[in-house]
């Protein structure tokens, strides 16, 4: 079983429109709401490959119930901690010119009692899982070292981990004693982490190698339309992005994380893991709904 942890899940509302105008009235053409959040997206992709997945994190209110029901319909083992606050709703605006605008809700505030309950539930789940994937931001009330603490619990149980977050939670996790096996920052997140602009690919490689040298097993940097960079102690690989007719880029990074998770558990080589992640992310981009992959498209791209 794979455990996905989404501390700040969301209902993802995707809307289409002709063109987004700032400081003006915008009329939407269509609206679709689905369960979202980075770890939720990872779980959705893993279930499309028929893997056993347990989803954990915080859920509250009507939005939380909608996410819980959506996950159950996919066959995910739902183990979320119920909170008094309302789970957030994010808005993704898809314009005809290809631009994607994300408007992100900060989310509810979580209490100390709710955090303690989640951590107890999480420790119990470690006894029966092969890997843990931590994804996304943290809601208000959750300490910034939460991922560092959870990584230590995984290390004590010998469970490998993937971490896909940003800002202070990522920084504190990498400063902790237990390093994740793999992290997947995008280039902007890596720049924030290292404190400088990375104008050349060589500079991105340099910073990724520093993280590997400090104890992280694998660093995969998603670079949008360029592709992705895969760095470990033995490899520095760049996989160019596939040329596809993009409909929606939301969830591409999460799809790549799901692919990398499957590659680790399946024993793929670094080259194969990078190739699969790039192909699966591109297959996600050609669908309007995030974290939904057409398998025929994926196999052709692969």
Is 122 strand, coil or helix? Answer: helix
Q: What distance in Å separates the CA atoms of residue 17 and residue 29, rounded to the nearest whole number?
A: 5
DSSP code of residue 227: E
CB 154 within 8 A of CB 5: no
HSE, CB side, 13 Å, CA atoms: give it for residue 53: 28
Q: What distance in Å separates the CA atoms of residue 133 and residue 163, rounded to the nearest whole number?
A: 6
Q: Which of 145, 254, 268, 294 is catalytic?
A: 254
Is 16 strand, coil or helix? Answer: strand
H/E run at residue 77: strand 77-78
Contact residues for 112 (Cβ-Cβ < 8 A; gap 6+): 141
Taking CA atoms, 13 is separated from 105, 139, 234, in Å, by 11, 19, 41
Q: What distance in Å separates the CA atoms of residue 17 and residue 263, rounded to the nearest whole number?
A: 37
The residue assigned the tokens 């400081």 is 23
Is 162 strand, coil or helix? Answer: strand
Q: Could you tell me the sign of the dihedral formed by the alpha carbons of 89, 81, 108, 173, in that order?
A: negative
Torsion on CA atoms 142, 143, 147, 153, rounded to nearest 10: -100
Q: What distance in Å separates the CA atoms of residue 118 and residue 65, rounded to the nearest whole number?
A: 17
For the question of residue 254 being annotated catalytic, the response is yes
- Residues with catalytic annotation? 254
């Amino acid at each position: 079983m794979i455990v996905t942890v989404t501390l700040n899940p969301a209902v993802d509302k995707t809307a289409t429109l002709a063109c987004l105008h700032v400081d003006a009235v915008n009329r939407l053409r269509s609206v679709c709401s689905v369960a979202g959040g980075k770890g939720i997206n990872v779980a959705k992709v893993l279930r499309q490959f028929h893997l056993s997945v347990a989803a954990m994190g915080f859920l509250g209110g009507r939005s939380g119930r909608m996410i819980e029901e959506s996950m159950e319909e996919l066959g995910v083992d739902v183990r979320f901690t119920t909170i008094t606050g309302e789970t957030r709703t994010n808005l993704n605006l898809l314009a005809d010119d290809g631009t994607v605008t994300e408007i992100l809700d900060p989310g509810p505030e979580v209490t100390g009692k709710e955090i303690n309950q989640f951590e107890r539930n999480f420790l119990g789940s470690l006894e029966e899982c092969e890997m843990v994937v931590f994804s996304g931001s943290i809601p208000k009330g959750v300490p910034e070292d939460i991922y560092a603490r959870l990584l230590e619990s995984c290390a004590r149980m010998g469970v490998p981990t993937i971490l896909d977050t940003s800002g202070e939670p990522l920084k504190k996790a990498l400063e902790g004693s237990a390093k994740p096996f793999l992290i997947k920052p995008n280039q902007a997140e890596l720049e924030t982490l290292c404190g400088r602009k990375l104008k050349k690919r060589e500079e991105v490689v340099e910073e990724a190698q520093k993280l590997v040298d400090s104890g992280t097993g694998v660093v995969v940097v998603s670079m949008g339309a360029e592709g992705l960079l895969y760095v470990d102690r033995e490899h520095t690989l760049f996989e160019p992005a596939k040329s596809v007719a993009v409909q929606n880029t939301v969830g591409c990074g999460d799809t790549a994380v799901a692919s990398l998770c499957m590659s680790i558990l399946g024993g793929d080589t670094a080259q194969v893991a990078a190739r699969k992640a790039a192909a699966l992310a591109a297959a996600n981009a050609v669908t309007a709904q995030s974290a939904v992959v057409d398998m025929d498209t994926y196999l052709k791209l692969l």
